[in-house]
Amino acid sequence: MKYCYFPGCSLKGLGRAYEESLLPVMAHLGIQLEELADWNCCGATAYMAVDEAKACVLAARNLALAEKHGGQLLAPCAACYLVLNKTKHYFHDYPEMKRKIDHALSAVGLKYAGDTPVRHPLDILLNDVGLDAIRQKVRRPLAGLKVAPYYGCQIVRPYATFDDQYNPTTMDRLLEALGASVIRYPLKTKCCGGSLTGTVHEAGIRMVYILLNEARKRGAHCLATVCPLCQFNLDAYHAQVTRRYGNVVVPTVYFSQLMGLAFGLPEADLAFKRAAVPFSWRPPPARAPQASVAASK
């Protein structure tokens, strides 16, 4: 299995723990990822607010480059995933937008036919790799770990491409396959506030508080996330939330970090040190055949 990897700006910056854990996990599963050469920013939500046509053109350059390269595009960041998919929808649904995209791409000799599938790692893990293959790789099951599965908005809204819009379960099933106890977390698709934590602090902080507090009340040892901005908000603002609302500190990790842990990959390679709220839970040591022989002696 081979995919064209679109990291996006966050996975090279604030969300680098996502990339640092996803790459070894995918490699461990035998999935080849080749980074899209000279990819540019997807435009995220900010560019859409300035100029929609240009935002679509920015995303379309990446789609065209991926198409030239051949193969499917893997976009782990929720914002990139949404913008790339949205551009694809606009390209097919609105002839006016298609003309603008075609015109801009042809100015630099690029072409986009509208075919490149844009995939999320959860989609690939469940539908291409399969839970059975993942279960076989588990060396240190996450037995006893209570996880709140937090999907955030943009991988299921507005385009539910591989999961249910109202009650997504792909990450729940993945975490269960790793041996974790997935708790019921009704806020799994509630917005984390996005960039509001930085721009309208009062509103942003409150949204983070609601999410953390619900996870704490339900006894979660951690929240598992699929989005660099969600992880940043829930992790980096914990001190400010605590000052304002009292102690609600729960660590927030990427699902890929938990996968690496369950696969028995070296912890140092899974970027746990990148989080402000330390995640100190560790699964019991692997019971490899040799170990049990040693124990019986």
Partner 1 sequence: MMKVTRTIKYDADRVKGFGREIMRVPGCEELESCIQCGTCSGVCPLSIYMDHTPRQVMALTRGDFKNEVLSSQTIWLCASCYACTVECPRGIRITDIMYELKQRAIHEHIYPSHLPIPVLAREFSEMVKRHGRITELLLVIKLFLKTKPFAAVGNWRLGIDLLKTGRLSMATEKIQNRNELGRMLEAVDEKKGAEA
131 scored as a contact of partner 1 (CB under 8 A) = no
In whole angstroms, how close is the CB of 49 to partner 1 at the nearest point?
Answer: 4
In whole angstroms, how close is the CB of 9 to partner 1 at the nearest point?
Answer: 4
Contact range with partner 1 by CB under 8 A, out of 90-98, 137-145, 212-220, 282-290:
90-98
> Which parts of 192-251 interact with partner 1 (CB under 8 A)?
193-196, 198-200, 202-203, 207, 236-237, 239-240
The correct pick among 54, 135, 146, 218 for binding partner 1 (CB under 8 A) is 54
Contact range with partner 1 by CB under 8 A, out of 10-18, 131-139, 171-179, 244-252:
10-18
161 scored as a contact of partner 1 (CB under 8 A) = no
91 scored as a contact of partner 1 (CB under 8 A) = no
104 scored as a contact of partner 1 (CB under 8 A) = yes
Contact range with partner 1 by CB under 8 A, out of 21-29, 54-62, 124-132, 215-223:
54-62
In whole angstroms, how close is the CB of 296 to partner 1 at the nearest point?
Answer: 42
Cβ closest to partner 1, residue 44 vs residue 177: 44
276 scored as a contact of partner 1 (CB under 8 A) = yes
In whole angstroms, how close is the CB of 25 to partner 1 at the nearest point?
Answer: 20
Cβ closest to partner 1, residue 85 vs residue 125: 85
Cβ closest to partner 1, residue 154 vs residue 170: 154
> In 3D, which of 193, 217, 194, 196 has the Cα closest to residue 207?
193
268 scored as a contact of partner 1 (CB under 8 A) = no
The correct pick among 99, 111, 217, 282 for binding partner 1 (CB under 8 A) is 99
Q: Which long-range contacts (CB under 8 A, 24 or more apart) does 190-198 make?
A: 191/152, 191/153, 192/152, 192/153, 192/227, 192/229, 192/230, 192/233, 192/234, 193/233, 194/45, 194/229, 194/233, 195/45, 195/46, 195/229, 197/233, 197/237
**Residues near partner 1 (CB under 8 A):** 9-10, 12-14, 16-17, 38-41, 43-54, 57-58, 61, 90, 93-94, 96-97, 99-100, 103-105, 107-108, 153-154, 157-158, 165, 190-191, 193-196, 198-200, 202-203, 207, 236-237, 239-240, 273-276
